Amino acid sequence: MSDLPLSAKIIPGLGDILSTGTRIVAGAWPFGEADSFRELKVHIMGTTTTDMLARAIAIGCVQENIRPHITQSLYGSFMQDVLNPASEFYSIKPDIAVIVSDWRSLVADIPASTSEEDVSAIIDKKANEILSMWRRISQNCGAKIIHHFPPPPQFRLTGVAEQYLPASYTNQLQLLLRRLWSAETFGVQIIDFGQFALEYGNAAAFAPRSWYSAKLPIENSALPAYVPLFRSALRGALNTAKKALVLDLDNTLWGGVIGDDGVDGIKIGSGDAVSEAYAAFQRYVKLLADRGIILAVCSKNNPDIAKTGFDKPGSILKVSDFAAFEASWGDKASGLRKIAKQLNIGLDALVFVDDNPAECTLVQQELPQIGTVHLDGDPADFIAQVEQGYWFQFQKYSRDDFARTQAYAMRAAALAEQDDASDLPSYLRSLEMLGQAVRPTEGQIERVVQLGQKTNQFNLLTQRFDEQTVRGFMADDGNVVLACSLKDKFGDHGLVSILIAQKQNDHLDIVEWTMSCRVFSRTFEQFIMNELIRIAQERNIRRIVGRFKATAKNSVVADLYERLGFVREGDDMWVLNLADVTAPLETYVTAVSA
């Protein structure tokens, strides 16, 4: 499949990087009209030389439908650029700041006998320096940060003893990453080259000769494999992460064709190498689902027959694990469109996995925004073939991630009931919805931040507040911060909406309102607005002001304030005069106490 267009390649060729990437870094644009590409300013800096890495980053941007305008700090001037408010870095005001650190700049040369307590203090100081740098960049220019952290040096010294020595370089690096990960990271995407080294080969990707000769952070030969890793971090920074894994069935989740071979004839489970390999792949898929990845099926099959494959002893997955099940004789591109609509997520949030090269090519041509993985050869290699795309790279988990599969199953059950309902009010009433809109608890703040960072569709202003900013709003008693949770007869959806309103003289200004796509169109927004109105009236607030900033994905809420009774004032502002409110908005959600 080497003749694929660049946008369809999981791993680009080194020639793509050295030729096309070089042209992009130099300011040329080799793809004709750029209207369909999102333009971003990307600045690359660090304690290494970055010119070769910049070419790979350029290719990764193109594959994510971005036209990058790339600038770089001079080697050795990284910290000066960050600390000097008059530096070119701040005058550029990049959208993305890419930082590349080498291990020598992160560890301390300390005696091997240094105590664990003293090592911890040294690492805390280094972590605070990095956190301060992230804060400065985030606050002074608003750039999203992607920070690369290096693998440890390749020498092992005394072997096992060195691995557990607090003062060793390896332990210093590991401890530093743990400290940074557990802190407020201002939305920073961390790329761990240590894990990449394990997968690609430390000596192959990070040869010392390249450092000493040119201060390269990574071997040129490893740049193609690096590109999908960078793309995953870029998606995280831009809140365009992949959310769902869509799988074919025959020769993908089991060996054989269920319609021809029957349940007894397909290979899954134990007893032979092929069956065990398919079981291992199913187990891998199940692990993804347990961590919040939505699963769906898109297969050319009779749906009733297709589902019987999961009844075979040895099948790890069950039909209930899938939030959408599209089995028909139509083309896969149409099936994927139906799945995205059913899940209420964008096509660009899907990763499609199939063993048929013709089906994969069709999807790549018709729906290039979908990540497509062609499974080829031995099923024992399927996990590695999916993994090489780095499709699902979370920085942190929340409790809601672990419950996402159940939440989408509840949504599917609710949609099935809607099909049987005679009218919308009867359907909404039948859901027996119970809601809360209250001040977040300490344990909910992480989810509050995550909702704002990840939500694209029901997101009025796309502010992307970090934890520090959210806590700042909560510290002012004049502001209103609502964490909104919903239950229905199918289960608990958890915390699915956030509203932040800032006190401004005689009015409340809604500065953030987001909601999970799982609970759209249930009158939950009316329920939340009723609670905000009640709080405002208790405080003698005269008006509530809402604003809408259009993005490529939030058109679903373009008329939200109008539907809630606000009056438009100007291009993007709506106002609700509380003196005109005579009755609560109609909602089918019943309030319950916290």
> Which segments within 157-217 are labelled E, that is strand?
189-192
Tens digit of each residue's pLDDT (9 = 90 or more) over 313-350: 999 999 999 999 999 999 999 999 999 998 888 999 99
User: Would you state the structure tokens that stand for residue 348, as one six-digit string?
Assistant: 């660009």
pLDDT single digits (tens) 433-458:
999 999 999 989 988 988 888 888 89
Local structure of residue 444 (DSSP, 8 states): G
Give the pLDDT of residue 422: 61
Amino acid sitting at position 490: F
> Is the Cβ–Cβ distance between 79 and 28 less than 8 Å?
no
**Are the C-beta atoms of 131 and 180 separated by less than 8 Å?**
yes
Cα of first residue to Cα of last residue in the chain, in angstroms, is 56
Tell me the CB-side half-sphere exposure of residue 273, using CA atoms within 13 A. Answer: 4
- How far from the centroid of its chain's Cα atoms is residue 586's Cα? 34
Q: How confident is the model at residue 410 (pLDDT cuts 50, 70, 90)?
A: confident
Residues 470/473/475/476 CA torsion (nearest 10 deg): 180
- Residue percentage of the chain with pLDDT more than 90: 76
Domains and CATH numbers, the chain: 6-237 (3.40.50.1110), 244-387 (3.40.50.1000), 423-591 (3.40.630.30)
Mean pLDDT of all residues in 146-152:
96
Q: Cα–Cα distance between 423 and 400 in angstroms, integer?
A: 31
* Other C-beta atoms lying within 10 Å of the C-beta of residue 568: 12
Query: What is the rounded distance in angstroms from the CA atom of residue 203 to the CA atom of residue 307?
Result: 46
Contact of 372 with 8, CB cutoff 8 Å: yes
Q: What is the pLDDT of residue 15?
A: 95
Q: In 3D, which of 583, 565, 584 has the Cα closest to residue 574?
A: 565
State which of 196-200, 238-242, 511-515 shows the largest mean pLDDT: 511-515
Angle at 28 between CA 26 and CA 34, to 5 degrees: 135
Phi, psi (deg, nearest 5) at residue 568:
-75, 135
Do the strands 38-46 and 66-72 form a parallel or antiparallel pair, or are they unpaired? parallel
Percent with pLDDT over 70 in the chain: 97
Average pLDDT, the chain: 92
pLDDT tens column, 169-213: 999 999 999 999 988 777 899 999 998 999 899 999 999 999 999
Q: What's the DSSP call for residue 163? A: H
Report which secondary-structure segment, H or E, holds 125: helix 116-141
Q: Quote the CA–CA distance of 388 and 243 in Å, as a whole number.
A: 17
Looking at residue 76, its pLDDT comes to 86
Asked if residues 587 and 527 have their Cβ atoms less than 8 Å apart, the reply is yes
pLDDT digits (tens, 9 = 90+) for 468-509: 899 999 999 999 999 999 999 888 888 999 999 999 999 999
Res. 420 pLDDT band, cuts 50 70 90: low
Strand partners, 298: 326
For residues 286 and 4, the model is more confident at 286
Distance of alpha carbon 131 from alpha carbon 187, whole angstroms: 11
Strand ranges, E, within 183-265? 189-192, 244-247
Q: Other C-beta atoms within 10 Å of 562: how many?
A: 13
pLDDT reported for residue 454? 82
The pLDDT of residue 2: 46
The pLDDT assigned to 419 comes to 66
How many CB atoms sit inside 10 A of residue 4's CB? 16
Dihedral sign from CA coordinates of 26, 30, 33, 39:
negative
Question: For the segment 111-136, what is each residue's pLDDT rounded down to a tens digit?
Answer: 999 999 999 999 999 999 999 999 99
Reported as a single tens digit per residue, the pLDDT across 554-594 is 888 999 999 999 999 988 899 999 999 999 999 999 999 86
Task: Quote the pLDDT of residue 34.
Answer: 65
CA distance 268 to 258: 11
* Separation of alpha carbons 250 and 175, rounded Å: 45
Residues 550 and 540: beta-carbon distance below 8 Å? no
